[in-house]
Every structure is written in structure tokens, then in C-alpha cells.
Structure 1
Amino acid sequence: MSDIYSYTVELPKSSIALSDLKDKTLLFVNVASKCGLTPQYKDLQALHEKYGDKGLVIIGFPCNQFKAQEPGTDDEVLQFCQLNYGVTFPIAKKADVNGPETQPIWKYLKENSQPPVENIDWNFSKFLVKDGKITWFPARSSKVADVEAAL
């Protein structure tokens, strides 16, 4: 694909054409329900509430690749996020972010980040797409506050 806006994100019951979001700042996060970083959902929701009407779109991508910490179905994951953290930002269908089955949008994000990213390090890694520039925030060394500072 030629750019990030060529992709469509599949949600459990609908989809989001990123071409409709060209004027927005996008935050892609691989998420998991049974991870020590799972409480970041609260911070991500706060970021969504603070900046959503200013053009920030957060999309969570459940991923079961790191110690099987996202075992639920797409519907179970969505219900968990809503009930436990009040999440109202979009949660995509489960996706691989590394390996041969890497979802194409994650392959694009990794290859086009500056510098490029070979492998996602853990749950709650983040890619911020602002003005076409892709910035990676590694899970083990970044927090939601780091993303907010980059907005």
C-alpha cells in the first residue's frame, strides 16, 4: 500500500477506512487484557476524552502474541475494555503484530516508522501518526504520557 490511509481497520462489527481520517492524528496500540500494562487502557481512555474532539483517533489492536495475554474472542475483548476501563475508542479485531501473520497495517507501521522497527517488543507498543510521520513508542520504555507530550 502506498500510505497508511490506504488501509481499512476491521472492528468486530464494522470497519474504519483510514482514508476518512487523513486530517486526524492516529494512535495505534497493540493491547492485551491480561498484561501488567493493561491499566494503560485507563490512560488511553483519558487521552481519548481529552484529545478526541481535537482530532486524535486511538485504535486498539488486541494481540495474543506475547505470553498469550489476550486469549478472548473479539467480542469478549471489547466487553472487557468497556466494562473494566470504560473504553469508548475503537477496538479492532485481534491481530498479529510480528511474524509471518503480521497484519498488513502493522507491517506498514513498522517499516515506515523512523527509524524502522523490526519487531514489536511487548503489549501496549504505540505508533503515533501525525502529519504523515510515524513515531514508535516501545511498550517497555514508554507510557501514555510520552505520547501525549508528542501530540
Structure 2
Amino acid sequence: MSVNDVYDVEIGALGGGSAELGQYRGKAVLIVNVASQCGLTPQYEGLERLHARYAAQGFAVLGVPCNQFGGQEPGSAEEIATFCSTTYGVTFPLTEKIEVNGSGRHALYKDLVTVADGGGHTGDIRWNFEKFLIGPDGTVVARFAPQTEPDGPELLAAVEKSLPAA
């Protein structure tokens, strides 16, 4: 499934202005709905390592804060940014806080949720830290369950396979 139109979706950056998704054309990008008060929040550390490890090879992590799962991302943009940088040293970009499910689902997730993960799940995002790997050509390469660690072998293999040709 191609989601080239994902690059044309309007979404704000956490600190204001546009997140400019078009900058990811030609790169591999891992889109992750994130939260600061979740049992899976320590994945921020692994996501940052993943981002740093492959950034020079045309890869980026894009964090998408969402408060739809147990109210686990209640903070303001400033609170989220401060938490991420001071607690986990996050340097990868974060978008504005959005809804990923329901009638208020942001356009970014409209097509993403139609893609199946390795277990065959399609549809609504199940929890914080669900991951979508977009290839350099705009194709959704893989969907990973929230419990999949950023350094999990299946995720690392998919990222390495999806890196743009040098």
C-alpha cells in the first residue's frame, strides 16, 4: 500500500509550525504514537537509539503524541517536549498531539490503520507505541504491535532492509 499522500498531510510540529512531512520523501521513517505516562514509555530510549543509529543512512523516527489510551499523554506541548528531552534525551521530531482513532482520527492515520501487522491486525490503533515503518518510496513496509521493542530483531531487520540505497 502506498501512502505517498502521507507526505502531503498537514500536521503541526510539537513546538508549533508545520511538521513538514514532505521532508521524509526518499527516507525510511518510523511513525510511532507516543505517550509520557504509559508502561511502554521507556521505549522512548530505544526509539532515540534507533533514530541516532540510522539517521545518517536516511532514517528518522517521528513521534506522534496521543492521549486516547488511558489519558497517558495529558501534558501540554511544552510539558511533553520537556519530559521527552530531559527524561529520555529525545532528539527525534514530535508532532502536535492528535487522535489516532475514532471520529477525530487525524488524516495521518487514515490510511495507516488499513495496513496489517505481522499478526494480521488491521484497523484501530490498539495502544501507545504502535509503529508504522514507511519506506523511501512512501510504501508502508510494516506495522508493529505496541509491545514490539525498538531494538526487536524483526523491527531492526525491517528498518535495515528499508534504508534508502546509498
Give the alignment's TM-score, normalised by structure 2.
Answer: 0.83
Taking only aligned residues, the RMSD between alpha carbons, in angstroms, comes to 1.7
Identity %: 40
8 A contact 1:30–1:62 mirrored in 2: yes
Shift of 1:133: 2.3
Q: Which stretches of structure 1, 4 residues or longer, exceed 3 Å deviation after superposition?
A: none
Rounded to whole Å, the distance in 2 between the matches of 1:100 and 1:2 is: 23
Shift of 1:15: 1.8
Shift of 1:14: 2.7
**More displaced stretch, 130-139 vs 65-74:** 130-139
- Indicate yes or no: 2:138 matched with 1:136: no
Match of 2:45 in 1: 42
Structure 2, unmatched stretches of 5+, are: 160-166
Match of 1:107 in 2: 110
Q: 1:124 aligns with which of 126, 129, 148?
A: 129
Structure 1, unmatched stretches of 5+, are: none
- Structure scoring higher RCO (CA < 8 A, sep ≥ 6) equals 2
Structure 1, residues 59-81: CA drift from partner, whole Å, max 9, x if none? 10111111101110111101100
8 A contact 2:4–2:139 mirrored in 1: no
Match of 1:51 in 2: 54
Give the alignment's TM-score, normalised by structure 1.
Answer: 0.90
Rounded to whole Å, the distance in 2 between the matches of 1:16 and 1:24 is: 15
Shift of 1:138: 1.3
Q: How many residues are treated as equivalent by the alignment? A: 149
**More displaced stretch, 113-122 vs 89-98:** 113-122
Q: Which secondary structure does the structure 2 equivalent of 1:149 belong to? A: helix
